Structure 1
Amino acid sequence: MRRDIGKAPGKSKSGDRGWWTRYKRKHFRHELASAFAALHPSSGLPGEQRDLIAYLVAAHHGKVRLSLRSLPDERHPEDERRFAWGVWQRDELAKIDLGSGVIAPHVALSLEPMELGESVEEPFVGQPSWIERALRLRDDLGPLRLA
């Protein structure tokens, strides 16, 4: 069966929303999950470009920029996992073929970079926080180039 992904969501005769299925977590931002996957050392992205790639992924809808925090009415995990914008610590993203020979590996997300200060947990030990990375990009490239 051929799908036309250019059609507006919810217009399928079968009722199957396919790729447009709503997430179960309120405020879920797929771009934040993808940004944390890009930051993960297993992403295979070059270290010197990883921060910029992750920032651009996170900012592509204009919702996620400098600060990463949970929202007041956001549902939180039953345990003590970090969470923000519907993304939870240890959420898993499946391996996916992005085309042109680029494969994004399976990854269990760590939201540790959302904490302030240098990271102390694997896989980000000794690495800067999200806000430190974003501010460095702003200072190096300028705010208009990141906008």
Structure 2
Amino acid sequence: MPSVAAPDVLASHPLHGFRDWRNLWGFGHFPDSLAFGHGLALVCLMLATQTMCCLALLAWRFVVPACAGHLVILGAGIAIAHWPDWFVVGPGTDGMEQSVLLISCFTSLALAHWPARAIAPDFIEAPGAV
């Protein structure tokens, strides 16, 4: 049975959005202020995507698409909200160090679960193949 420690830790990432529902309204105004439009819908879509991706990781199903979903959300979060603040010491916000760490973890997990056939060309024989 695979370890549930890593997916369990990664599943805690979207929980900050569910902690206080009133905060969603405030966070929904942030994309609106950047001229994205439909800010609350974007925030709800982001939380739903993160939750579905975490559930997929906890079930060890659709690991590569779940990692890709997280990578898109974390990359967009860095580009839109956290850039250029690198490190936050103490209880603060706007740092991107955790997002960079999670991106490296999700990338490693996706590469470890990537189908071997998609990586190796057909003319290269797999080790141990007869």
**TM-score scaled by length of structure 2:** 0.29
Which structure is larger by alpha-carbon Rg, 1 or 2? 2
Q: Which has the higher strand share?
A: 1
Q: Which has the higher helix share?
A: 2
